[in-house]
């Protein structure tokens, strides 16, 4: 249900003619699997970027390309609230050119939408959210002055909840069936995500160039009230290829002001493809970064800029606050 419009309505209206309840259980289980799988991708700020203000690049740049944004996709982006707070701790190193890192991340995604069942009635209201905690242990091997390889194992624990308000009265006859099963219910999932990342970095007088390719696979187990406890096993993968350029503008003491740009291609599969409406998409970002001397133990840099998503169901542009870009 997450990030797709009214995916349960065909199921809801099909209930009276169901010959076998198994069909409904299977559909709800698949939907829950896709919710948790999509959350894995959207909570990773290295592969998907949300901002504080969304816009249609077609209108801003006077172009006409549906792959870069539509009225529907911009409306969908505006309905979503997202928060991701990552923090990485470098562990003591005992081997030269080899180190270990521990990454912690707290994330939350939510969406509110109206459900119009009839033009003559008030719309019902649907609210959904996923809250996740993430813990990753990584080993980083510096191959030479430019190349490094990162192997890691990540662990997600995610909680999903939806709240449905019956305003129109149309679904009231089915409320006893829907509540606790499809809507006004919750579910949990534990997901394991092994991943590997190859990085090339080149330092210059003007700044630095960074190229990376990362491979992620995830598989999990779900449980909870929804669908009578049959929450399924979220599974999927994604491949991220990215080029970043940091161009230093001003350096004063330990403070560095720089321009930041990146282009990335993300390929997705498994339970993530259908909700994102694609098997691959692109993101391009441009921004201004400040490396402050204050709070250097916690903040590497902060900045502001814009990001454009091309090719997914959430295509469009956003103004973004950048945090700890590396």
pLDDT tens figures, 177-214: 889 999 999 999 999 999 999 999 999 999 999 999 99
Q: Considering only CA atoms, which of 226, 156, 154 is closest in space to residue 195?
A: 154
102 contacts: CB under 8 Å, gap ≥ 6: 88, 89, 91, 135, 136, 137, 138
Please say whether the beta carbons of 208 and 201 come within 8 A: yes
Is residue 114, in this structure, part of any structural domain at all? yes
Is residue 1, in this structure, part of any structural domain at all? no
The pLDDT score that the predictor gives to residue 291 is: 79
Is residue 259, in this structure, part of any structural domain at all? yes
Phi, psi of 60 (to 5 degrees): -70, -45
Q: How confident is the model at residue 31 (pLDDT cuts 50, 70, 90)?
A: very high
Query: How many residues appear in the chain?
Result: 326
- The residues with which 25 forms a beta bridge, in sequence order, are none
Please say whether the beta carbons of 199 and 150 come within 8 A: yes
User: At 163, which CATH number?
Assistant: 2.40.128
Output DSSP code: residue 179: B
Sign (positive or negative) of CA dihedral 40, 46, 52, 56: negative
The percentage of the chain sitting over the pLDDT mark of 90, rounded to a whole number, equals 66
In angstroms, rounded to a whole number, what is the distance separating the alpha carbons of residues 73 and 315?
A: 6
In angstroms, rounded to a whole number, what is the distance separating the alpha carbons of residues 37 and 24?
A: 20
Q: Tokens for 139?
A: 């080993």
Print the domain residue range for 39: 9-323
Q: Is the pLDDT of residue 14 over 70?
A: no
Is residue 155, in this structure, part of any structural domain at all? yes
Please count the structural domains in the chain. 1
Reduced 3-state DSSP string for 151-173 = EEEEEEEEEEEEEEECCCCCCHH
Q: What is the mean pLDDT of the chain?
A: 89
Q: How confident is the model at residue 293 (pLDDT cuts 50, 70, 90)?
A: low
Output DSSP code: residue 107: E
The pLDDT score that the predictor gives to residue 134 is: 98
Is residue 14, in this structure, part of any structural domain at all? yes
Q: Considering only CA atoms, which of 191, 192, 91 is closest in space to residue 138?
A: 91
**What average pLDDT does the segment 248-261 reach?**
81
For residue range 48-71, what is the model confidence (pLDDT) as tens digits?
Answer: 999 999 999 999 999 999 999 999
The pLDDT score that the predictor gives to residue 301 is: 80
Is residue 3, in this structure, part of any structural domain at all? no
Is residue 163, in this structure, part of any structural domain at all? yes
Is residue 15, in this structure, part of any structural domain at all? yes
């Amino acid at each position: 249900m997450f990030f797709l419009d009214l995916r349960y309505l065909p199921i809801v209206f099909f209930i009276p003619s169901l010959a076998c309840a198994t069909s409904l259980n299977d559909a709800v289980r698949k939907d829950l699997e896709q919710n948790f799988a999509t959350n894995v991708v959207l909570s990773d700020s290295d592969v998907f970027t949300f901002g504080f203000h969304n816009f249609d690049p077609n209108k801003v740049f006077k172009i006409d390309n549906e792959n870069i944004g539509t009225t529907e996709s911009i409306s969908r982006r505006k309905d979503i609230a997202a928060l991701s707070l990552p923090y990485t701790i470098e562990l003591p190193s005992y081997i030269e050119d080899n180190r270990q890192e521990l990454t912690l991340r707290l994330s939350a995604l939510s969406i509110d939408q109206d459900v119009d069942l009839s033009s003559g009635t008030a719309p019902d209201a649907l609210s959904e959210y996923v809250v996740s905690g993430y813990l990753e242990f990584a080993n980083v091997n510096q191959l030479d002055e430019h190349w490094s390889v990162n192997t890691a194992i990540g662990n997600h624990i995610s909680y999903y909840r939806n709240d449905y308000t019956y305003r129109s009265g149309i679904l009231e006859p089915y409320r006893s069936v829907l509540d606790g099963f499809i809507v006004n219910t919750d579910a949990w999932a534990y997901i394991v995500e092994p991943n590997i990342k190859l990085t090339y970095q080149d330092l210059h007088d003007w700044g630095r160039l960074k190229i990376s390719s990362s491979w992620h696979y995830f598989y999990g187990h779900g449980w909870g009230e929804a669908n009578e406890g049959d929450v399924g096993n979220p599974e999927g993968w994604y491949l991220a290829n990215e080029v970043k350029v940091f161009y230093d503008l001003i350096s004063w003491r330990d403070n560095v002001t720089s321009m930041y740009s990146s282009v990335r291609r993300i390929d997705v599969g498994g339970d993530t493809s259908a909700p994102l409406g694609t098997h691959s998409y692109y993101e391009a970002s441009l921004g201004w970064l400040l490396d402050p001397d204050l709070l250097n133990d916690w903040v590497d840099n902060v900045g502001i800029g814009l990001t454009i998503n091309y090719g997914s169901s959430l295509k469009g542009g956003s103004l973004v606050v950048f945090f700890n870009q590396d």
